[in-house]
Structures are given as structure tokens and as C-alpha cells.
A and B are shown apart, each in its own frame.
Chain A
Amino acid sequence: MPKVRVLVVDDSGFFRRRIRELLTADPDIEVIGEAADGREAVSQVCALHPDVVTMDIEMPVLDGISAVREIMRRQPTPVLMFSSLTVEGARATLDALDAGAVDFLPKRFSDLASDSNTAQLRLQQRVKGVARPVGSSRRAAADVVEAPPMRGTARDGRQFRPQAVVIGASTGGPVALQKVLAGLPAEFPYPVLLVQHMPANFTSAFAQRLDGLCALRVREAADGDALVAGEALLAPGGQHIGMVSRGDRLSVKLLPSKPGQFYKPSVDIALASAADACAGKVLGVVLTGMGSDGAEGARRLRQGGGMVWAQDEASCVIYGMPRAVVQAGAADRVIALTDIGAALQRLGR
């Protein structure tokens, strides 16, 4: 297997050397070049054709976000951003994702994992993950088909009137969620709960951003918030979210994460608790993302009579989580990203 060829971009030589050390400790990764500012990065990308670019945001001459935009224009390449996990860092990172970056990692590697070996492995794995999006090996997924409709009904959602829609996403999710929500009208008749893997300081900025972009009202969920039509709640980062039902009212419940749980909020937990709260009346949608968070929750949701959609491989940045859902036999439908908004609007009609 050829090595993953990486271009490291950072204005700090110290960081370039650290990233190089961490990445090249993996025999499958090769650092083919370094750049100290955005302009250098763009010309290196054009000259070296790396498989992955790791990109700092704050740089002289040309900043990381503009560099990503330029790279996407001239030589589209998967770009991993290194971000500060701060509120300010969140805005910049979301801008970078908008500009076309695939994913982001905390610049403080200790935020990846408490021990450095694990952090190193995660870093390497993320680089390899975005370098070879599973989409490039389409064969592997060819045998996967949609789960047979349960109870013999055609479950395209036209007869399904959910009490809530839960959408989960990871890598590639911020952009995907923007696309889905932007297609929904302000009077979308079902409450929406969004679960995006994100650090704690990022979600409020992301909610603000979505709110600005979409007709639907979007805000970060607080403990005990009611789920109401016309509003989407974004699960806050760093903790888990679940759903509780009291009478016919649904509200969200926040729960601290436990040590070792890397994905917080967890899509599995959100979907599973939705299944417990009102199993038959929830639509779960699993969008792009690395890993398989959401598959088990989707399974439980569907078992309880709920409906599950998974994003299709072609439109995924990383076809990991949706594939896990499909492989678990939990997907009622596999839908392209651009069609999800329309499909949501057809629900129950």
C-alpha cells in the first residue's frame, strides 16, 4: 500500500517538526513537504500533489482559511485543520470547513487523548482517514443494500409522522448539516435535534452560524429545553444529550460524559434515548462521519418502530457512520445529501 503523502503547513517550525515526528512514526505516512505560510502551502500543494494537507489557521502572508479556499480552487486536496478548541477557534474552524477543509483536530494534541501515544495514533488515523475516504473503495460497500422494509410497508416517510427528527453527524457534518437545514422552511412541522461530534467550545458558535444560514430557528440546547416544531436544537459539545418524554411533550436532557468516551455528544446515546422516549415516533438521520457512532442507536430506534435514514456513500465526506448504520441493517433509506432536505419536507405527506 503506498504511503499517505502529507504536506504540513504551520508558521511555527516547532509545530511543523512535532507534527512531522508524530505522523512519520506511522510507517504508512510520509511527510513530503512543509510550508510556513498559506501562499507557500498553495504552491506546494500544486507542486507536490499531497494526499492530505494539515493546515494551521493563524499564519502570516496568507492565513489558513484563505489557503484552503485557494487549494480547493486550484488543486482540491483533503485538508485537515489544526484548531484551537476555543470559542474564537470555533468560528475560524467553521470558516475553514466552509472553505472546503475536511475536518479539524485540536492543536493541543493532549486534547485528543490524555496519553500521548493514543493522541499520536488518533492523529495518524485521522490523517489516513481523510486521505483515503472510504468512498475511494466503492467496491467494499457495493454489497450493502437497504434494509428490507419492516412490517411490509414502503417506508419512504410519506406515511410517517414523527414527533422529532434526530440528525447525527461527524466528519464533514458541519457542512452537511448546513446543507440539510438550509433546505428546510421556517415552519418545518417537526422538532429537530442535531448531534454533531464537536468540542465543547465549538457548538455555540456552530449553532449561531446555522441559525444565521437557515430559515429554521437553531440554537444550542440547554438541559430541559422542550423540543418544539420550527426549532432545531444543537447538542452542546463535551457532553451527551438524550430525550425525555412527559405526556406528549418532548424535551432534551443533558448528561455528562464518562471518562474514555471520545465522542461527546454521542449519536448512539441520542438515538437510543429517543428510542426509549418515543420509539415509534422518531426519525433518525445519520450523516457523514468517520467511525460508527450512531449505528447501535439507529438499530435500537428502528427496532422500536422508528425510522432511520443514512446518507449515501457518494455524497459523504467520510462514509463511515452511515455505512455502519447500513451494515447493521438499520437503515430504511439511503439518501444523497442534496435530497435529504426534500425528503424531510415530504415526511407525513
Chain B
Amino acid sequence: MQIDPEDDILQDFLVESREIVDALGEQLVELEQRGDDSDLLNSVFRGFHTIKGGAGFLGLDPLVSVCHRTEDLFNLLRNGERQANGELMDQVLRALDVVNAQFESLEAGQPPQEAPAELLTALEALIDHGTVGTAASTGKDTPEPTADDVDQAFDAMVMALSDEPDPTGASESPAAAASDDITDEEFEALLDQLHGEGSHAGVPAEAEQPPVGTPAEDAKTADDDAISEDEFEALLDELHGKGQHAGVPDGEEAPAAPALAPRAPDRVPTASMPARATVDAPAGSAAPAAAVRGETSVRVDTARLDDIMNLVGELVLVRNRITTLCGDVGQEAVNQAVADLELVTSDLQSAVMKTRMQPIKKVYGRFPRLVRDLARDLGKEIRLDMRGEDTDLDKNLVEAISDPLIHLVRNSCDHGIETPEVREAAGKPRQGTLLLSAEQEGDHILLVIADDGAGIDPKALREKAVAKGLIDAESAERLSDKESFDLIFLPGFSTKEQISDVSGRGVGMDVVKTRIAQLNGTIDIDSAPGAGTTLRVTVPLTLAILPTLMVRIKGRKFAMPMAVVREIFSTDLRKTKVVDGRRVVVVRNKAMPLFFLERWLEGIPGLDGASETDDTDRQVVSVMVGNQAIGLVVDNVLGLEEVVIKPLGTLLHGLSGLVGSTTTGDGRIALIIDIPSLINTYGDTL
């Protein structure tokens, strides 16, 4: 079967079905808690029913067969004839996985794979007997007759009939044939008279001839039957003349007309019927565009949205430019116009951003299932509490944040929440709670993953880090408890002695942290031993527009992502100290290492170099790199600016320390600094 993933109707189906499948994933997990909620059962039933309907429309039989069985099963459930249990839910969730895989095939332009026969059998067994086990054999042997089966049987029969014009009645039921074969023939004769072969639409021309090789029957027909073919034709003419059946090409619908037309393939009326139908059809398809009415949404390729976003980005730049220029002109009217322009541009920008927004539900929707499966595998009892699923963020971000979040949730289930026994012993309820929340805070989104599990022991973390050689014992001693938690983000850190299947091997929290940092986001961990762990992830609303701090270094402008900026202060470099071979400034009684960006620019090696010029009042931008606050020494801080990130050209592409460039308000180019990678790469020389 040919699948065209661009086909509008298929797309329409996939979009709607995807939504249903996502909802089903959540509903099924909910069902495990509230197995007798009839609204829930009804809506799961309808979900599979609707997908089956659409799949049937498109002739996607593998999809139909799995949805059909699941639908049947839920029909029993909602009628109270079966009870949901773990066994049943496992099969249904598998069925949902199969449906998901089939959708993926379709999206890739592949015909969907048939569901595993063993799953279909299991579903049938559940329908017939309520369990998979006892009925595995009988279920297989006696599947419920479905519409499909009937269709297949019918198709087979049709094939048989068209292959062999011989009467089939005789071979149909041998027992009966033995006793009354005469009647069989008579039936055949009847059939031939009433529904002569000549009338069958789509039957090849030769089939329209009377059956060859049964002259006796023909003769018999002619003899016995009072009604002649002429009369049949007359009847046909009469009926046809009334115009009752116009537009029916094969005439079977309104039964009679052509159906009764016997062996008269060349008769004018019969011949004219299909012709009429074909004339009708095109006329019909040219029908007015009334079909358009009622549509309230259109599908837009995300590439097009990206283009629009880019253009809006350019517009923002031009606006910034004009705003800057305007400061120089200083005319009242111009100022007003520019203010208006700013307003409109901001509105446009947020409107366009909204078109790209998707609820975080897209990611959160997977968690009920994920947590359920994990809990089952780990022998734990976990209640998932989700809040703020409707919080919107940029589509690209939704996709990008998905894997890190899944990893964090796995971690919480695996390492955080204890087994029921352990919890009981600790005086906690058997069931652990995992809270997932999302909310918008200004220009970023705050995602919280909190469990009420065992928590993390900061001392154990420190010991572990030292044992693994990640930090030395002396540094470990100096770490506060809060800082100790951040140790788990160090590469190669894993707190669990035995690496379980669940939360990765080696790909640890450091990868999660890196991924989130790439999204200009942050992650923060807090834990109280015995009471649980809370992870806070912030990500910007969008990736396309970046709030930055503009700074000047050696006469050049640079943009630093605001997400990492903590504070800005001025300092007298002569009052700084050198600790451990690194110049540091003491802020609130803590030493903060300083980095001199001009050294990176000018490639000046050495510790103190020429930095003593005008050192009495330098600006320091304090930023977070990992868990460490560092100070970047710059010449001037120019202010906040929202910039549109432009990728660097191929020559500069992949250069560490830079994420891209942007056009600033004064029309010049500013490079956007990627601080973590800058420090990682050049930290020793700065």
C-alpha cells in the first residue's frame, strides 16, 4: 500500500489521532487508579473507536485490527462486563504502543506494520474470557467474527464466484445438496434471472455473458419461468424511466433498476447509466467552496513559522536600530512614532511566538505512563502529581527539553523514591509522590520535579566525589551542603552503587545539565535527607530571541546570555588577591575567581599581563558556570538588549566560546558569548 505522508487527509487523520493517543496514554494510567470511572472508560473507548474509524476510512487495516479489539475490550469494561486489572492494562498499554509505532510508520511514509499476532490473540482472549492466560489457545481458535472477517469471507466468496461462473450453491452445503440439488439449481436460476451477471458493475465484460457450460440451466430457465427477459427489460425501462436511480453506476443501491437488468450488457439504458454517473461526479466535485466554511484552523509547516520568526527577529533588530538612532534625532513626533513602533513590534513578536507555542503537556503527557511503568518495574508505589501542564513554551524547546526531563523523572523514581517497605519503616506513607509542575515566571519557564523520597546526603556526596577523584578532600571540606548537591552534575558521578536499568549508565546528570545549559536554561537541586529532593529547571520561553547583557571589551560589543548573569559590580583591580594562581575578588566574604575577557581577545598569556591600565574601576559581570560564580572583567556594561541569534558563518562555526552573532541597535555586529564553553576552553589562560 502506498502511503503519502504529505497527503492532506492522512495528515488530518494523524494530527487528530496523535492528540487522541496522547490523551489515551494519560487516561489509561489514570484508569489504574480509578478502574471503575465510567466517564474515563467511555472516553478511552471513544478514543480507540475514533482512531479505528479514521483508520478504516483510510484503509489502514493493521491499525483497524488492533484498535478494533481494544475498543471491543473497553466496551466490555464500560458495560461492567469486565474489570480492569494489571494484566489487562498491560495488554492495552502494549496495544497503545503498537498504535504509536504504526503512526510513526505512517509519518515516515511507510505502511503500518500489523500488530504482533500474539498481542491480538491476548486482546481477544481478554474479550472472550477476561484473562490472557487461560484462553490463550481457545482465544486464538475462535476469534469474534468481526466486520473485517466477514468482509474477508465475502471477498473470498466474491473471488470464487467471479473465478467460476458455475453454480456455487451446489458446493456450498454438501449435505443439503445431496437431498435437494434440484432446488439449488432453481436458486441459481432465480439468481440469474433476478440479478443477472450482466448487471454487475466492475465485472469484466466476459463475465457478462451467460455462464458458459450450463446450457441446461438456461434452457430450464427459459422454460419454467413465466417472466421473459423482455419483461424484465420492460420493467427496467419502466423503473429507469422514472429517473429514480440516476447517478448510481452499478445500480445495486437502489436495488432494482440495473440489478434486475438481466443479460443485456449492450442495452442502451444500462449502458447509459454509468455514463450519467460519470458526468454527475465531476459536476459534483466542482461544487462551490462551501466546504471551506467552518474550518477554524490551518496547518502550517513549522519551517514557515521559523521563517516568520526570523523576519520578526530582523524587524526587532531594525526597531532596536531606529530606537538607537532616534535618541540622536530627538524630535517629539519621531519619538512618538518610534515608541509606537516598539509597541507594535513587541506585540507582533509575542503573537508570532505564540503561534509556535505548545503546552508542556506534550512532554508531561508521557510521564504518567513512564512513571507507571517504572513503578511497576521497580516494585514501588508512586503517585504522580502534575500541575501547570497547559503552560506554553516554544515548540523547539518542548522537543529539546523532553529528554532531559525524562531523565530527571527516571532518576527521581529510581534513586529518589524508596520502596514501600523502606518508606513504611521510615514512617512515611507507602506511596511516594512525585510532583511535576510547570509555570511561567517572567520570560522563562520554571519546571519543578520534586519527590518525597530519601533525599540526598550531602556528606555522602562529598565522600563519593573525593573517592572518585573528582575533587580533592580539601575542596570537599569547604563545600556547603547546597554546593555539595551540585556535585552530582559533575561528569562521571553516580550515587548508586549498582547501576540500574532505569536511569542510564554513565549518561548522568552532567549530560542533563549540559543539555539544559545549551537551551540557555539552568538547573538547580535541593534536597533534605529523608524528606525528598527538588529539582528546579528554568528554560527561556523561546530559543529564537535571547535576552542578553551587552558589554564592551576593548571597544567591541559582546552579548552575554542574561540567563547566566547573576550580578554586576565594579571593583578596583588593585584590591584583588591572587589565590591558587588565580586572581580573585572577595564578594560577601567569598572568593570569586576573575577572568579577563580581553586576554581571550588579544591572546595575551600570563596572569597579570597589561591589565593594570585603568584598573581602579573595572566592571565585573558575575555569571554562573556550573555551580560556580565567576567574575568576567569587562570595560563597560552597556545594558540589556533582546537579540536574535544568527548562526556564525561556516568559517567560525563550532568555535568554542561563541554561540552566534547578532546585529545590535547601532547596526553593528556583536558576538554572543557562550560562557560555559568559553571558560571550559580558555579558562586557564584568561
Contact = CB atoms under 8 A, between A and B. Distances in A.
Interface of A: 11-15, 17-18, 20-21, 24-27, 30-31, 33-34, 58-60, 84-88, 107-111, 113-115, 117-118, 120-122, 124-125, 199-201, 223-224, 238, 240, 242, 244, 246, 253, 255-256, 258-263, 266, 268-269, 272-273, 276, 290-293, 295-297, 299-300, 303-304, 320, 324, 327-328
A59 B158 CA distance: 35
Nearest to B14: A14
Given A88-B75, A262-B252, A58 B190 contact: no
B72 interface: yes
Contacts of B12: 13-14, 17
Given A13-B16, A14-B13, A118 B294 contact: no
B259 to A, nearest CB: 7
23 contacts: A11-B46, A14-B54, A14-B57, A15-B54, A27-B283, A30-B290, A84-B53, A108-B56, A111-B151, A118-B248, A121-B247, A121-B248, A121-B253, A121-B277, A121-B280, A238-B154, A253-B187, A262-B253, A268-B260, A292-B257, A299-B235, A304-B226, A328-B238
Interface stretch (B167-175, B562-570, B590-598): B167-175
Contact of A260 (B168, B199, B256, B281): B199
A44 to B, nearest CB: 12
Nearest to A170: B255
Contacts of B194: 266, 268-269, 272, 296-297
Contacts of B203: 259-260
A276 B294 contact: no
A292 B250 contact: no
Contacts of B255: 262-263, 266, 268, 291-293
A125 B146 contact: no
A244 B283 CA distance: 48
A120 B168 CA distance: 31
Interface in B13-70: 13, 16-17, 42-43, 45-46, 49-50, 53-54, 56-57, 59
Contacts of A109: 57
A120 B253 CA distance: 12
B173 A223 contact: yes
A24 B287 contact: yes
A303 B226 contact: yes
B136 to A, nearest CB: 23
Given A58-B49, A121-B247, A292-B254, A86 B201 contact: no
A111 B59 CA distance: 11
A121 B226 contact: no
Given A13-B16, A14-B16, A291-B254, A200 B150 contact: yes
B86 interface: no
B410 interface: no
Interface in B182-200: 183, 186-187, 190-191, 193-195, 197, 199-200
Nearest to B175: A224
A155 to B, nearest CB: 19
Contacts of A25: 281, 284-285, 287
A256 B422 CA distance: 68
B467 interface: no
B57 A108 contact: yes
A260 B191 CA distance: 12
A111 B53 CA distance: 12
Given A26-B284, A118-B249, A253 B254 contact: no
A201 B252 contact: no
B46 A259 contact: no
B151 to A, nearest CB: 8
A48 B42 CA distance: 29
Contact of A111 (B46, B147, B250, B287): B147
B147 A108 contact: yes
Contacts of B281: 25, 117, 120-121
Interface of B: 9, 12-13, 16-17, 42-43, 45-46, 49-50, 53-54, 56-57, 59, 72, 75, 144-147, 150-151, 154, 157-158, 161-162, 168-169, 172-173, 176, 180, 183, 186-187, 190-191, 193-195, 197, 199-203, 226-227, 232, 235, 238-239, 244-245, 247-250, 252-257, 259-260, 277, 280-281, 283-285, 287-288, 290-291, 294-295
A327 B199 contact: no
Given A201-B147, A258-B161, A244 B183 contact: yes
Contacts of A115: 202
A252 B259 CA distance: 23
Nearest to B173: A223
Given A12-B54, A60-B42, A122-B248, 18 more contacts: A12-B16, A18-B57, A33-B294, A84-B147, A87-B144, A87-B145, A108-B53, A201-B147, A256-B172, A258-B191, A259-B203, A261-B200, A262-B252, A268-B255, A292-B255, A296-B227, A300-B226, A328-B238
Contact of B195 (A14, A58, A261, A328): A261
Q: Which 6 pairs show the lowest CB-CB distances between chains A and B?
A: A262-B252, A260-B200, A293-B255, A291-B254, A292-B256, A108-B56
A276 B190 contact: yes
Contacts of A259: 158, 161-162, 200, 202-203
A147 to B, nearest CB: 15
Contacts of B154: 200, 238
A238 B156 CA distance: 13
B187 A255 contact: yes
A124 B253 CA distance: 12
A120 B43 CA distance: 30
Taking each of A14, A27, A114, A261, which has the highest tally of chain B beta carbons within 10 Å of its own beta carbon? A14
Nearest to B231: A299
A20 B259 contact: no
A85 to B, nearest CB: 5
Contacts of B195: 258, 260-261, 266, 268-269
Contacts of B239: 292, 295, 324
Nearest to A30: B290
Contacts of B56: 107-108, 110
B259 A262 contact: yes
A260 B252 contact: yes
Contacts of B169: 255-256
A223 B175 CA distance: 11
A300 B227 contact: yes
Nearest to B45: A58
A260 B145 CA distance: 23
A296 B238 CA distance: 12
B497 to A, nearest CB: 50
A292 B307 CA distance: 60
Contacts of B172: 255-256
A201 B46 contact: no
Nearest to B157: A256
Nearest to B145: A201
A255 B239 CA distance: 26
Contact of B290 (A24, A86, A268): A24
A55 B283 CA distance: 27
Contacts of B252: 260-263
A255 B180 CA distance: 14
Contacts of B283: 27
B415 to A, nearest CB: 40
Contacts of B245: 291
Taking each of A242, A273, A292, A320, which has the highest tally of chain B beta carbons within 10 Å of its own beta carbon? A292
Contact of B201 (A118, A256, A292): A118
A41 to B, nearest CB: 15
Contact of B248 (A34, A114, A125, A295): A125
Contacts of A120: 281
A246 B180 contact: yes
B18 to A, nearest CB: 11
Contacts of B193: 272
B187 A242 contact: yes
Nearest to A321: B255
A242 B101 CA distance: 48
Nearest to A123: B253
A64 B252 CA distance: 29
